[in-house]
Homo-oligomer: A and B are copies of this chain.
């Protein structure tokens, strides 16, 4: 194809290859989701439709893009971890973050109806993304722990806050005032003594967020088969298939990682 004299502008593109042998993490955050949640009447403190849609979109990212080994989401954010040895798009950071942001965003609109039914989506939502590299398994696990600790801190706060408002009859200003300076123990105590709520029995989805990983599951399929010298007949075939599975559990401790040893590669 004929080259134009303008072709030289291609050389202004910078190389943004990610350092080899590091986990590539892309984290997405909702843009102005506080306002988005209000306009779409999300229930407080958590809206299960919104969380479901968030997870559905994240699943779409894992299934459509390559080499995501684990993803973790809560509130209006989702983090995607690509395996440390991935060579997808030559490890170019821009490819990773824009593909994730794009696939997630189009999926969010595409699957809206599945979660919100007839309630209309008022405008196309936005998500921003970033790439962060982690050189060791410890660093990566600490990153995921940081996000899950953040989930815990925010959810505890929001749970007490909205309980004070919804059941305690406080205004939002009063609830905010009431919680100023309180520690986790204080918040647990308010829930328990004033509202008879044991925070540790609240929904795991809300307390732990959502972890997506690839897992093999056995699938039984009925196939019509013709075996030589026999009549054609139905045979039940069991096959193993890798699918994205959601977990709502602690990922800070070692248990989860011991139960799923295939997620991380050794530091070597």
Contact = CB atoms under 8 A, between A and B. Distances in A.
B132 A13 contact: yes
Contact of A95 (B10, B60, B104, B128): B128
Interface string A1-31: 1101011111111110101111000001001
A81 to B, nearest CB: 12
A197 interface: no
Q: In which size bucket is the chain A interface?
A: 35 or more
Nearest to A123: B110
Contacts of A143: 6, 9, 12
A256 to B, nearest CB: 15
A94 B129 contact: yes
Given A2-B184, A12-B132, A145-B6, A126 B139 contact: no
Contacts of A132: 9, 12-14
Interface string A132-156: 1111111100110110011001000
B106 A124 contact: yes
A183 B2 CA distance: 8
Task: Report which residue of A105, A109, A130, A268 has the largest number of chain B beta carbons within 10 angstroms of its beta carbon.
Answer: A105
Interface string A94-129: 110111011111111111000000000101111111
Given A4-B145, A20-B139, 8 more contacts: A6-B142, A13-B130, A14-B17, A15-B17, A94-B129, A98-B101, A98-B129, A102-B128
12 contacts: A2-B153, A2-B183, A4-B146, A6-B142, A6-B145, A14-B15, A15-B17, A19-B133, A98-B101, A101-B105, A102-B129, A136-B267
**Sorted from nearest, which 9 A-B pairs have the closest CB atoms?**
A135-B135, A6-B146, A106-B124, A15-B15, A98-B129, A267-B267, A109-B109, A110-B124, A105-B106
